[in-house]
């Protein structure tokens, strides 16, 4: 039996703008994990992926090209030159909430890559894992920027510019985030597609929102490196305002953001694609209890506290 695990993630700043070439920052969330366990399978079955939580069983050699679980298995086996793998069952479980902007798809894919490489006594650098996972992300999300696979494969805070750079960067002083779940699925593919249409109708207007988000991400990176949490909080607030103007927030997200600020958070914003999913709030040891309570009173279906370091 071989095990591969992967953490979830949240986008700290720069979602959506990152699709248009602006920088974004994402951080791993180790409190949630995807796990892939490999066991010997029945003779002749080939590779089967079994996800009991979602009742999905995929026979890889029979699955269509656009099945993300089969896709990640095929690409990983090809990469390791094990095109005709033996009879294996890969059991996938995950505590990463689905469709909440926490990278559930990328976490499952990464766990599968890690389990398969371990099973075949091989090792891949994080960049190679990230590149493999990107293939499945395309199936999940259409035109992903690549930030999810990057932060999850590296499992470190990442400063990311699509197609240009990804830098694992220094956190001057660890800080705490509260992640509040609206309980509503965030339809990443639709939100990104909808925004793209509006962008095409008004490239100058949306372009300037994306540019400002990029400036905020650059400032946030400096604030994080220098341990300036107050400055980071203000930047989170400003980024939320831009995301509202981009049309990707919703009343439930805005309510949780306001509740976190009322509870004493240094800043708060939606995180990920929007129209549901999660928001994040920058908190301290002193405010964590109150913000957690305020979020739940405002309707959060779950709150996760994570430390970024
Ligand atoms: O829902 P998430 O966390 O995967 O958010 C997607 C982030 C976007 O910037 C909206 C899209 C992307 O591919 O980066």
Please, are residues 247 and 198 in contact by the beta-carbon 8 Å criterion?
Answer: yes
State the closest ligand 1 atom to the C-alpha of 274, by its place in the atom list counted from 1.
Answer: 1
The CB of 11 under 6 Å from ligand 1? The reply is yes
Residue ID of nearest Cα to ligand 1 atom 13: 144
Query: 278: which strand partners?
Result: 181, 271
Q: What is the pTM assigned to this prediction?
A: 0.94
d(CA 271, CA 281): 10
Count how many residues are written for the chain.
309
The CB of 161 under 6 Å from ligand 1? The reply is no
Of 96, 126, 105, the residue nearest 114 (C-alpha): 126
Please, are residues 2 and 118 in contact by the beta-carbon 8 Å criterion?
Answer: yes
Distance (angstroms) between ligand 1 centre and the Cα of 17 equals 10
| Ligand 1 pocket mutation pick from 188, 213, 248 by most atoms within 8 angstroms of CB | 188
Please, are residues 262 and 287 in contact by the beta-carbon 8 Å criterion?
Answer: no
Give residue limits of the domains in the chain.
Answer: 2-168, 175-308
Question: Per-10-residue mean pLDDT for the chain, 309 residues long?
Answer: 97 97 98 98 96 95 96 95 82 96 96 97 96 94 89 96 90 97 95 97 98 98 97 98 98 98 98 98 98 98 98
Distance (angstroms) between ligand 1 centre and the Cα of 73 equals 23
The CB of 101 under 6 Å from ligand 1? The reply is yes
The CB of 97 under 6 Å from ligand 1? The reply is no
Distance (angstroms) between ligand 1 centre and the Cα of 271 equals 9
| pLDDT number for residue 81 | 84
| pLDDT number for residue 140 | 86
Class of domain 175-308: alpha beta
**CATH architecture under which domain 2-168 falls:** 2-Layer Sandwich (3.30)
| pLDDT number for residue 86 | 86
The CB of 188 under 6 Å from ligand 1? The reply is yes
């Amino acid at each position: 039996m071989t095990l591969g695990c992967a953490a979830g993630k949240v986008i700290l700043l720069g979602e959506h703008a990152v699709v248009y070439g602006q920088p974004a920052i994402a951080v791993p969330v180790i409190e949630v994990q995807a796990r892939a366990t490999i066991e010997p399978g029945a003779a002749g079955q080939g590779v089967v992926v079994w996800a009991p939580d979602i009742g999905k069983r995929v026979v890889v050699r029979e699955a269509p090209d656009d099945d993300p679980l089969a896709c990640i298995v095929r690409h990983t086996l090809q990469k390791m030159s094990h095109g005709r793998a033996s009879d294996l069952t890969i059991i996938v479980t995950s505590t990463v909430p689905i469709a909440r902007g926490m990278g559930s798809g990328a976490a499952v894919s990464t766990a599968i890559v890690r389990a398969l490489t371990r099973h075949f006594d091989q090792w891949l650098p994080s960049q190679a894992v990230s590149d493999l996972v990107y293939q499945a992300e395309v199936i999940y999300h259409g035109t992903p920027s690549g930030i999810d696979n990057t932060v999850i494969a590296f499992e470190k805070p990442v400063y990311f510019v699509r197609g240009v750079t990804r830098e694992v960067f220094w956190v001057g002083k660890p800080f705490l985030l509260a992640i509040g779940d609206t309980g509503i699925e965030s339809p990443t593919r639709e939100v990104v597609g909808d925004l793209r249409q509006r962008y095409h109708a008004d490239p100058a207007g949306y372009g300037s929102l994306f540019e400002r988000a990029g400036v905020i991400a650059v400032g946030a990176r400096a604030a994080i490196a220098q341990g300036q949490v107050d400055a980071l909080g203000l930047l989170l607030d400003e980024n939320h305002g831009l995301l509202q103007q981009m049309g990707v927030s919703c009343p439930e997200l805005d309510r949780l953001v306001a509740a976190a600020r009322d509870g004493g958070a240094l800043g708060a914003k939606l995180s990920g694609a929007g129209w549901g999913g999660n928001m994040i709030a920058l908190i301290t040891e002193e405010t964590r209890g109150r913000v957690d309570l305020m979020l739940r009173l405002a309707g959060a279906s779950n709150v996760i506290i994570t430390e970024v370091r």
